[in-house]
Structure 1
Amino acid sequence: MLDKPVVLGNKPVPVRGWSDLIKKEDWWAVWLGLGLVLFALVLWASGGSIKSVSVSIPKWAEFGTVAAALSKSAGGLLLLFLLFLVLFSIAVKILGYKLKEFIPGFTIIFIMSVLVSIFGAWAWAQKYNLEAPLVALAIGMVIGNLLPLPKWFESALRTEFYVKVGIVLLGATLPFTLIVQAGPIAFGQATVVAVVTFLSIYWAGTKWFGLDRRFAATLGAGGSICGVSAAIAVGGAVKADKEHVSVSISLVVVWAIIMIYLLPILIHLFDIPEGPAGAWIGTSEFADAAGIAAAAAIGDQAITTFTLMKVIGRDMFIGIWCFILALVSVAKWEKAETGSKPDGAEIWYRFPKFVLGFFIASGILTLLLAGADEATAKSVNADIINPIKNLRTWAFVFCFLSIGLTTRFRELTSVGWRPLAAFTTGVLINVPLGFILSALVLGAYWMSVGH
């Protein structure tokens, strides 16, 4: 969620400017996501539909059924591949990656995504809640930890880019009125959870386990706001050591992966309804991609309430938190060294721009449906919203595969016990608190969201 490289260690801070609009990943997620939404609108207005390039794998019980469906959809899958390949290639080229590495890498990711989606649509897999996102993550981790991946393949493992594009597309499937209605609840719950979790990790890290305060602040941000992106952003804002940022990212990944599987198990064990379940995941997960994977294993309403809680509630705090912690760092921790003062514009610079794309996409579809009659609303749902849901799902599967393929258990075990203990302290407080707020205190409200 960084709009500009920040100081890590003693590296200088480069100048921000209008070039960020084409040189930063967050903005490219906005441009690509909104571009796909507008493309769908133009096709619909001209009597067509994006359905021809928005293919989904149908549920199946016998292989002959899915084989016939794949044969019928082969052209659509090819168009889908070319659409994503062209859009992502434009972005990664301008972002500085080599197309000769990205194109073959993304081709492999796409083929794996198709195979994973086929498995996830199998009736046996559905019976055991083995949704495509969870399967993608598991397969990615197995491959990533057992087989050496070529260096050129890494350019296609754009984890956060894929999920940010997916979240912008997700905005087109959620009415803005619902977001406004849920806003106060989501913000209120997110504020309580974020503050309590951050203070728990920071206090445990500095008082119990003797961690540097910048390190503890970076750990706290990763555990309380939006995972990897928050750790990077806050680490830069407080001038944490690069190694401390890396450790924080590793711990976020470890616990995010654990929660992908643990939370759905607990939700099914306690028979928690979809609405509160999604809100609990949004409260207690540590990364957008991992949270979407866990919510997808529960259902569509869980995805909706997760998004309202995590993306609308927690992720939007990153700019404010970065400014507050930068202020503390400069005013208290660094004043004796530099004498500098924080810049109020830091809030905007740190704000996750893809959230703006989420709101804009939601607003566009809301305005289109506001004055529509029943027939038009059905047409919009069938020819715009449902196809965009399919595109969103593909983007998330790309992301989950990338997470798995880049997760190295050997590296994660080298972080030491003290930062692990501090982060785990926050987890032990965050998860029960999220359950109490989502399922008990506000359970009736979250059950009504999305119906």
Structure 2
Amino acid sequence: MSLIIALPIIAISALLLSRVPEIAQVGLSALPLAIIIGITWGHISRRTATDKEMKFTKFCQQKLLRGGIILFGFSLSFQQILAVGWEAVILDAIVITTVFCVGAYLGIKVFKLDREVAILTSAGSAICGAAAVLATESALKARQQSVTIAVGTVVLFGTIAMFSYPFIFQLSSMSPEAFGIYIGSTVHEVAQAVAAGDTVAQQALASGDTTGITALENAVVVKLIRVMMLAPFIVILSAAMMRLATGDAEKGKITIPWFVFGFLAAAGINSVIAIPEVTLTGLQLASQLLLAIAMAALGTQTQWKTMRQAGVKPILLALILFILLIFGGYFLNIWLIGG
């Protein structure tokens, strides 16, 4: 089967699988599913892509990816910021800055990882998992294998974190409302925030706490605020990478990542215009489809040999960032938000 046909089929399959209740409960979104299916398809088919197919794959990884990120902006609105207060915004900003800087330093200076892997893994842990890795890849112009390694680490530890939150809630003195903010500010993926927030909400309601549903609401809103911060993050990172570049014409192109402004414009439109629910759902579905196609394209071009050569260092880096998010994020939430 041609890649031109296979990639949309893989993406649609990932979207459908992500809606299976048993899969949704473990927080696996369409993006990691698409890359897993893509990797599997690439190794099973064992065929060399034609020039036309390679051009299509590159188009998916670049143009469709950026289009998906722009449309993802329609999932957000600036009213969501007002709903949880500026303390949550400050909290998200501190979490993103700390986790990314610590991760980049440890990855590059201590573990001596490839710069791309260190930055992509740190961005995925700090902001919004696979979507952040993809957006950062667009700014870095990173290699496919680096992206796959980073996505793998954030999916692994994001899933572990998601299952950990309900146990932490039982041990903590936080209210469901405050714990929802903690989840949103520290979990990796949006889907994982939804799954963890819903579990905690059900625990609270089962114990007779009628405010339990706020755990889910706050987890989602605070997580989406973190996603919104992806835009300024990419702009700042692009400027920083430009300064590090020395006469590299390709690097010079990353100074202005225009798709980020499209992302912000979409969020702005959603904030000031009452878009019908059915239209919003369609835009969000289109975003997921485009991003899933981009991930599928990435997966089909990924080689296990290259991933194995990366060793355990990327996993160790992601583990440290996971611990920082869980424990550092907990005490930061207690300090800024309270119980």
TM over 0.5: same fold? Answer: yes
Q: Distance in 2 between matches of 1:220 and 1:258?
A: 16
- Report which stretch shifted further, 267-276 or 405-414: 267-276
* Structure 2 unaligned residues grouped into runs of 5+: 124-131, 170-175, 199-215
1:175 corresponds to 2:80: no
- SS at the partner of 1:175? coil
1:261 aligned residue (151, 156, 159): 159
1:381 corresponds to 2:276: yes
* 8 Å Cα contact 1:131/1:296 also seen in 2: no
Q: Show the counterpart of 1:280.
A: 186
TM-score normalized by structure 2?
0.64
Q: Show the counterpart of 2:225.
A: 308
Q: Deviations over 1:23-73 (max 9, x none)?
A: xxxxxxxxxxxxxxxxxxxxxxxxxxxxxxxxxxxxxxxxxxxxxxxxxxx
1:108 corresponds to 2:6: yes
**Displacement of 1:401 after TM fit?**
3.5
2:266 aligned residue (342, 350, 361): 361
Q: Deviations over 1:91-120 (max 9, x none)?
A: xxxxxxxxxx9xx53432333344444444
| Pairs within 5 Å for 1:15-414 | 105-123=3-21, 125=23, 132-133=30-31, 135-152=33-50, 153-154=53-54, 155-156=56-57, 158-159=60-61, 161-179=63-81, 185=87, 188-204=90-106, 208-209=110-111, 211=112, 218=116, 220-225=118-123, 226-227=132-133, 229-230=135-136, 233=139, 248-249=146-147, 251-270=149-168, 276-281=182-187, 285=188, 291-292=189-190, 294-295=192-193, 304-310=221-227, 312-324=228-240, 327=243, 329=244, 349-369=254-274, 380-414=275-309
Q: Deviations over 1:94-153 (max 9, x none)?
A: xxxxxxx9xx53432333344444444445555666655554444334334444254144
Give the partner amino acid of 1:193.
V
Residues 424/167 of structure 1: CA separation in 2 closer, same or farther (3 Å cut): same
Residues 436/227 of structure 1: CA separation in 2 closer, same or farther (3 Å cut): farther
Residues 268/426 of structure 1: CA separation in 2 closer, same or farther (3 Å cut): closer
- SS at the partner of 1:350? coil
**Displacement of 1:364 after TM fit?**
2.5
* 8 Å Cα contact 1:109/1:398 also seen in 2: yes
- SS at the partner of 2:40? helix
The number of equivalent residue pairs is 296
Residues 165/434 of structure 1: CA separation in 2 closer, same or farther (3 Å cut): farther
Note the aligned Cα RMSD (angstroms).
4.4
- Percentage of pairs with the same residue: 16
Q: Distance in 2 between matches of 1:358 and 1:252?
A: 23
* 8 Å Cα contact 1:176/1:359 also seen in 2: no
TM-score normalized by structure 1?
0.51
Whichever of the two has the greater Rg, that structure is: 1
Q: Show the counterpart of 1:27.
A: none
**Displacement of 1:413 after TM fit?**
1.4
Q: Distance in 2 between matches of 1:425 and 1:147?
A: 36
**Displacement of 1:170 after TM fit?**
2.9
Q: Deviations over 1:243-266 (max 9, x none)?
A: xx7775454233123235323322
**Displacement of 1:317 after TM fit?**
2.1
Residues 119/421 of structure 1: CA separation in 2 closer, same or farther (3 Å cut): closer
Residues 120/368 of structure 1: CA separation in 2 closer, same or farther (3 Å cut): closer
Give the partner amino acid of 1:110.
P
**Displacement of 1:280 after TM fit?**
1.8
- SS at the partner of 2:276? helix
Q: Distance in 2 between matches of 1:326 and 1:351?
A: 10
**Displacement of 1:414 after TM fit?**
0.7
- SS at the partner of 2:273? helix
- SS at the partner of 1:109? helix
Give the partner amino acid of 1:192.
I
* 8 Å Cα contact 1:131/1:297 also seen in 2: no
Give the partner amino acid of 1:305.
V
Q: Distance in 2 between matches of 1:415 and 1:408?
A: 12
Q: Distance in 2 between matches of 1:320 and 1:416?
A: 30
Q: Distance in 2 between matches of 1:133 and 1:229?
A: 13
Give the partner amino acid of 1:108.
A
